[in-house]
Structure 1
Amino acid sequence: MPLPLYLLAMAVFAMGTSEFMLAGLLPDIASDLDVTVATAGGLTSAFAIGMMVGAPLVAALARNWSRRSSLLGFILVFAAAHVVGAVTTSFPVLFATRAVAALANAGFLAVALTAGAALVPPDRKGRALAVLLSGTTAATIAGVPGGSVLGTLLGWRAAFWAVAALCLPAALGILKGIPAGRVKEGTKGVPTLRAELARLTGRRLVLAMVLAALVNAATFASFTFLAPVVTGTAGLGEWWIPVVLVLFGAGSFVGVTAAGRLSDGRPGPVIAVGGPLLLLGWPALAVLADGPVALLTLVFVQGALSFALGGTLITQVLYAAAGAPTMAGSYATAALNVGAAIGPLIAASTLGTGFGNLGPLWASGLLVAIALLIAFRFRTVVAARRSTEALG
Structure 2
Amino acid sequence: MYALPQARERRLIWLLALVQFTLIMDFMVMMPLGPQIMRAFQISPSQFAAAVSAYSWCSGLSALLAATYIDRFDRRKLLLVAYLLFALSNVACACATSYPLLLASRAFAGITGGVLGAGVMAIIADIVPVERRGAATGIIMTGFSMAAIAGVPAGVMIGAYFHWSAPFWLLAALTVTIAVATARIVPSLSEHLSRRAPPLADTLPALGRLLTYPRHVRAFALTFLIMLAHMLVIPFISPMLVANHGVAPRGISLLYMAGGAATFFTSRAIGRLADRIGHRAVFRIFGALALVPVLVVTHLPNVPFWIMVPGFALFMIISSGRIVPMQAILTTVPDAKHRGAFLSANGAVQSLGTGCGAWLGGLMLSSDPAGHIVGYGLNGWVSVGLAALALVWVGQVRSDAGRASALGGPGTPNTPTTATPPAPELAGEA
What is the TM-score when the length of structure 2 is the normalising length? 0.82
Gaps of 5+ in 1: none
Spell out, residue by residue over 1:36-58, the C-alpha distance to the aligned partner (whole angstroms, 9 max, x if none). 24312221111111111111212
How far apart are the structure 1 equivalents of 2:397 and 2:267?
23
Alignment match, 1:33: 41
Alignment match, 1:322: 335
How far apart are the structure 2 equivalents of 1:87 and 1:76?
17
Taking structure 1 as reference, are residues 378 and 122 closer, same or farther at Cα in structure 2, changes over 3 Å only? closer
Shift of 1:212: 2.6
Alignment match, 1:340: 354
Alignment match, 2:410: 384
Alignment match, 1:233: 244
- Selected match of 1:246 from 233, 257, 264: 257
What is the TM-score when the length of structure 1 is the normalising length? 0.89
Taking structure 1 as reference, are residues 62 and 97 closer, same or farther at Cα in structure 2, changes over 3 Å only? same
Taking structure 1 as reference, are residues 91 and 359 closer, same or farther at Cα in structure 2, changes over 3 Å only? same
Spell out, residue by residue over 1:60-118, the C-alpha distance to the aligned partner (whole angstroms, 9 max, x if none). 22321121111111111111111122112121112111111111111111111111221
The amino acid across from 1:69 in the alignment is: K
Alignment of 1:139-158 (within 5 A): 139-158=147-166
Residues 319 and 386, structure 1, Cα contact 8 Å, conserved in 2: no
- Selected match of 1:47 from 41, 44, 55: 55
Taking structure 1 as reference, are residues 361 and 256 closer, same or farther at Cα in structure 2, changes over 3 Å only? farther
Spell out, residue by residue over 1:18-48, the C-alpha distance to the aligned partner (whole angstroms, 9 max, x if none). 1100112122222222322431222111111
Shift of 1:294: 4.1
Spell out, residue by residue over 1:137-183, the C-alpha distance to the aligned partner (whole angstroms, 9 max, x if none). 21122101111111101111111100100101110111011112424
- Selected match of 2:318 from 280, 305, 311: 305
**Pairwise CA RMSD:** 2.9
SS of structure 2 residue aligned to 1:156: coil
How far apart are the structure 2 equivalents of 1:360 and 1:315?
31
The amino acid across from 2:57 in the alignment is: I
Residues 229 and 289, structure 1, Cα contact 8 Å, conserved in 2: no
Shift of 1:196: 7.7
How far apart are the structure 2 equivalents of 1:56 and 1:315?
20
Taking structure 1 as reference, are residues 271 and 133 closer, same or farther at Cα in structure 2, changes over 3 Å only? closer
Q: Percent identity?
A: 24
Taking structure 1 as reference, are residues 267 and 289 closer, same or farther at Cα in structure 2, changes over 3 Å only? farther
- Selected match of 2:384 from 362, 368, 375: 368
Spell out, residue by residue over 1:306-350, the C-alpha distance to the aligned partner (whole angstroms, 9 max, x if none). 111122222211111234222232133223212211121122122
Q: State which structure, 1 or 2, has the greater radius of gyration over its C-alpha atoms.
A: 2
Residues 229 and 357, structure 1, Cα contact 8 Å, conserved in 2: yes
Shift of 1:296: 2.6
The amino acid across from 1:281 in the alignment is: P
Give the stretch that moved more between structures: 377-386 or 37-46.
Answer: 377-386
Residues 133 and 328, structure 2, Cα contact 8 Å, conserved in 1: yes
Alignment match, 2:81: 73
Gaps of 5+ in 2: 1-8, 399-408, 424-430
Shift of 1:233: 2.7
Taking structure 1 as reference, are residues 59 and 200 closer, same or farther at Cα in structure 2, changes over 3 Å only? closer
Residues 59 and 326, structure 1, Cα contact 8 Å, conserved in 2: yes
How far apart are the structure 2 equivalents of 1:234 and 1:322?
49
Taking structure 1 as reference, are residues 272 and 9 closer, same or farther at Cα in structure 2, changes over 3 Å only? closer
Shift of 1:365: 4.1
Residues 247 and 296, structure 1, Cα contact 8 Å, conserved in 2: yes
Alignment match, 1:267: 279
Alignment of 1:103-114 (within 5 A): 103-114=111-122
Residues 250 and 303, structure 1, Cα contact 8 Å, conserved in 2: no
The amino acid across from 2:335 in the alignment is: A
Residues 79 and 119, structure 2, Cα contact 8 Å, conserved in 1: yes
Taking structure 1 as reference, are residues 335 and 365 closer, same or farther at Cα in structure 2, changes over 3 Å only? farther
SS of structure 2 residue aligned to 1:60: coil
Taking structure 1 as reference, are residues 248 and 222 closer, same or farther at Cα in structure 2, changes over 3 Å only? farther
How far apart are the structure 2 equivalents of 1:319 and 1:15?
24
Which protein is richer in helix relative to its size?
1
How far apart are the structure 2 equivalents of 1:185 and 1:274?
39
Shift of 1:381: 4.9
Shift of 1:366: 2.0
Residues 280 and 365, structure 1, Cα contact 8 Å, conserved in 2: no
- Is 2:240 the counterpart of 1:214? no
